[in-house]
Amino acid sequence: MTDIPKSHPRYASLVARERVAEGVKRGLTSSQGLIAQGRGECFDYLLGEKTTASAAKATNAAAALLLLAKQPALSVNGNVAALVPEEMALLAQALDAPLEVNLFHRTEERVKKIADLLRERGAKRVLGENPDATVPGLDHARALATRGGIYDADVVLIPLEDGDRCEALAAMGKAVIAIDLNPLSRTARKATISIVDNILRAVPNLTAMVGQLSSAPRADLEKIMPGYDNQRVLGDAVNEIRAHLESNLGDVS
């Protein structure tokens, strides 16, 4: 990877680009993942490249929901594997939940490379290499799922995922937690909880919140979700983007 000085004003963004580019070279990420990374980076600019109040609220609710889950599962695609493999392994460990590799541009070689990387980074349970079920409503490789993982989960975390899979999982009766920088995307709008934040911040923040709430009484965790309104949180995210633009560029109305 390119040696990027930490003093560079675009350090975090450039590191993310390098990770995804390296992921393509290593066969973890599809070339289309580069386009997806650029699209997300654009929205991160609009948010001010920071975790906003709405994202923090969503993260709190997501941690509570994952801790209340009977059988949570965490989905990993190529960009997630390139950007936050160790962080996803730590989150899975904190929740005692499996990681499951799921790819749009699926090849068995890519699945194995991602699964091996996750294990190298400390993941104990990695699924996806031998799917034995399908998600109804999807007619491509992302329909593949694993019993004991995403297929049987009651709560699924889907970072950097497309809207049709989010909708299909929700139609199965699952609670779906999305990490998506675009508050207007179908994924964000269809998820149970949408964390509008950069995955480089969102996953460590979520792991930290799981740690903070892990000792809370179940009754206290159950009080969090009834007060959470995902559509309102998405509206807050849009307002935060607007406020950031106005503070930097003047009134854009």
Mean pLDDT of 193-207: 96
In three-state secondary structure terms, 60 is helix
Evaluate if residue 71 carries a pLDDT over 80: yes
Question: Tens of pLDDT along 174-187?
Answer: 999 999 999 999 99
Decide if 198 contacts 44 (C-beta within 8 A): yes
Evaluate if residue 10 carries a pLDDT over 90: no
- Per-residue model confidence (pLDDT) at position 139: 82
Evaluate if residue 249 carries a pLDDT over 70: yes
Question: Tens of pLDDT along 221-245?
Answer: 999 999 999 999 999 999 999 999 9
Evaluate if residue 11 carries a pLDDT over 80: no
Question: Tens of pLDDT along 137-183?
Answer: 988 788 999 999 999 999 999 998 888 899 999 999 999 999 999 99
Where does the pLDDT of residue 62 fall: very low under 50, low under 70, confident under 90, or very high at 90 and above?
very high
Determine the topology of domain 53-242 in CATH: Rossmann fold (3.40.50)
Evaluate if residue 1 carries a pLDDT over 60: no
* H or E segment and range at residue 131: none
d(CA 155, CA 233): 19
- Per-residue model confidence (pLDDT) at position 141: 82
d(CA 215, CA 135): 34
Phi (first) and psi of residue 46, to 5 degrees: -65, -30
Evaluate if residue 199 carries a pLDDT over 60: yes
Q: What DSSP designation does 143 have?
A: G
Percent of the chain with pLDDT over 90: 69
Decide if 114 contacts 27 (C-beta within 8 A): no
Decide if 149 contacts 100 (C-beta within 8 A): yes
- Per-residue model confidence (pLDDT) at position 162: 81
- Per-residue model confidence (pLDDT) at position 248: 85
Instruction: Output the DSSP codes for 151-214.
Output: TT-SEEEEET--HHHHHHHHHTT-EEEEE-S-TTSHHHHHSSEEE-S-HHHHHHHHHHHHHHHT
Question: Tens of pLDDT along 23-42?
Answer: 677 867 766 656 666 566 88
Residue type, 190: K
Tell me the sheet residues that pair with 133: 145
Of 78 and 231, the one with more pLDDT: 231
Decide if 157 contacts 66 (C-beta within 8 A): yes
DSSP H helices, 69-142, are 78-83, 85-95, 108-120
d(CA 160, CA 140): 18
- Per-residue model confidence (pLDDT) at position 253: 47
Where does the pLDDT of residue 13 fall: very low under 50, low under 70, confident under 90, or very high at 90 and above?
confident
Where does the pLDDT of residue 197 fall: very low under 50, low under 70, confident under 90, or very high at 90 and above?
very high
d(CA 87, CA 80): 10
Estimate to the nearest angstrom the gap between the alpha carbon of 131 and the chain centroid: 21
Where does the pLDDT of residue 252 fall: very low under 50, low under 70, confident under 90, or very high at 90 and above?
very low
Place of tokens 């999305």: 178
Where does the pLDDT of residue 8 fall: very low under 50, low under 70, confident under 90, or very high at 90 and above?
low
CA–CA distances in Å: residue 8 to residues 13, 41, 44, 219, 248: 10, 16, 17, 46, 20
- Per-residue model confidence (pLDDT) at position 192: 97
